[in-house]
Amino acid sequence: MRFLYKARDRKGALYEGIYEAEDSNAVVKHLRGQDFLPISVKPEAKRIELFSKKKLVKPKDLINITRQLGSMLRAGITLLNSLGMIIGEIGATPLGGILKIIRIDIEGGSSLSQAMGKHPIIFDPVAVNVVRAGEIGGNLGEALERLADLKDFDERNKNSIKSATRYPKLVMAALGLALIVIFSFVIPRFMNLFGQLGTEMPLPTRIIIGIQQGLANLWYYLLGLIAVIVFFVKRYLKTPKGAYNYGKLLLRIPVLGNLALQISIVRFARFFGTLYQFGIPVIEALGIVAPIIANPVVSKAIRDVQQPISEGEKMSIAFAKQEIFTPFVIQLLAIGEATGDIPSVLNRMAVFYEDEVERNIKRLTALIEPVLIVGMGVVILFIALSVYLPMWSIFKALGRGGK
């Protein structure tokens, strides 16, 4: 069980972190044994897990610390001294508190990977196993720098996608706000005017007024229906079947599906190649990588190749039986097996698909912008017609009346 704790050291500095133990008493005992004064120890709830990932430790800080630690080790500084220098530099931050606990665990005889494994929210299985492989192979510094590169790619990828979707989100938000203003203030006033003049309203105007009246009278039912739909959709997507079906649907969407598949392949190539390079057995490495692949369809395909490979089948043949992987992936794996240099081939695979991901993100952005512009134009044109057509009718009637 995981616990979120707050504790102070002898100098009074406050530390926060996550620790895995059987119960809260074990956490308190551990903290006191490390010369900390526990302030609070709470079981990790789902909301706390989300908070801890986003708030306690920023990915960018963790990447920088990992790279810095790797560089220090490669420069010949001991692990304990390196950790001590980093802790002194970042001070009483959540990450500093976790590193301090890790350093104390190492002083007590644990390895770095074992100490990291006690903080599974901060250090995922890939990070722990890359470090473990580096410890076994005697190249911990290189392993940490490689791990930092992997995590840095992940973050850059996420930021690129966020940047690509930022403009559409802003446009949709602005359009939504404009529609709320129009339906709440503009349309009701025009309805009163048209009602007083007794003018026959054209079809676009009748449609807009019908929508406005429906929203005005039934908005609470509509909000309730949307809330129920969102609740059950989210609940369904959290089930294995729902997540798998969503991943399958995502892969079928033009452009977006290719992008999702390419991101999964890059992640697989980078992480699996690193684990393989540092001596983790193929079956074990596949088992570690499969859960961290975002798309459940690709994740399942990676899990499905473990059994035939363990029975002696070539990796390229096992992957070829999974329809999700492209011929290029299969060909590169076959080349890697033939040359005996799978890590190098996986690196080339990752570089190729990284370029493809970048191109597809730009292509997606280029496709979204005109679609949004056309969509906004259609909506604005329809609303404008619904307002101005009856006004023209009124002007015509007034003109005839004047004659």
Whether 147 maps to a domain, the answer reads no
Instruction: Flag whether 71 is in a domain.
Output: no
Q: Is residue 274 part of a domain?
A: yes
Do 257 and 333 share a domain, yes or no?
A: yes
Tally the domains of the chain: 2
> How far is the C-alpha of 328 from the C-alpha of 66, rounded, in Å?
33
Residues 220 and 310 in one domain: yes
- Model pTM score: 0.69
Q: Report whether pLDDT(319) > 90.
A: yes
User: Which strands sit side by side in the sheet containing 37-43, from one edge to the other?
Assistant: 14-20, 2-8, 37-43
The CATH number given to whatever domain includes residue 287 is 1.20.81.30
Identify whether residues 195 and 274 lie together within a single domain.
yes
In a domain, 130, yes or no: no
The answer to whether residues 276 and 397 belong to one domain is yes
**Distance of alpha carbon 58 from the chain centroid:** 13
**pLDDT tens readout for residues 8-42:** 777 676 777 667 777 788 888 877 776 778 888 88
Last residue in a domain, options 122, 142, 174: 122
Residues 219 and 336 in one domain: yes
At 283, list the tokens: 């079956």
Query: Residue 320: is its pLDDT beyond 90?
Result: yes
Reported as a pLDDT band with limits 50, 70 and 90, residue 210 is confident
172 and 269 in a single domain? The answer is yes
Nearest to 347 by CA among 293, 259, 292, 266: 266
Q: Confirm whether 146 is domain-assigned.
A: no
**167-171, 195-199, 357-361 — which one is most confidently predicted on average?**
357-361
Asked if 169 and 101 sit in the same domain, the reply is: no
Within this chain, do residues 394 and 349 fall inside the same structural domain, yes or no?
Answer: yes
Are residues 370 and 324 located together in one domain of the fold? yes
pLDDT of residue 381: 83
Phi, psi of 305 (to 5 degrees): -85, -10
- For residue 376, the enclosing domain spans 158-403
Mean pLDDT on 76-104: 87
Q: Same domain, yes or no, for 167 and 96? A: no
Average of per-residue pLDDT values in the chain:
82
Residue 67 lies in a domain: no
Say yes or no: 92 and 183 in one domain: no
**79 pLDDT more than 50:** yes
**CA proximity to 148, closest of 53, 244, 72:** 72
For residue 128, being part of any structural domain is answered with: no
Distance CA 324, CA 274 (A): 22
Residues 241 and 369 reside in one and the same domain:
yes
Match 């404009």 to its residue by tokens.
Answer: 178
13 and 91 Cβ atoms separated by less than 8 Å? yes
Sign of CA dihedral 354, 359, 363, 366: positive
- Residue 282 one-letter amino acid: V
CA pair distance 155, 113, nearest whole angstrom: 22
**Within-domain flag for 137:** no
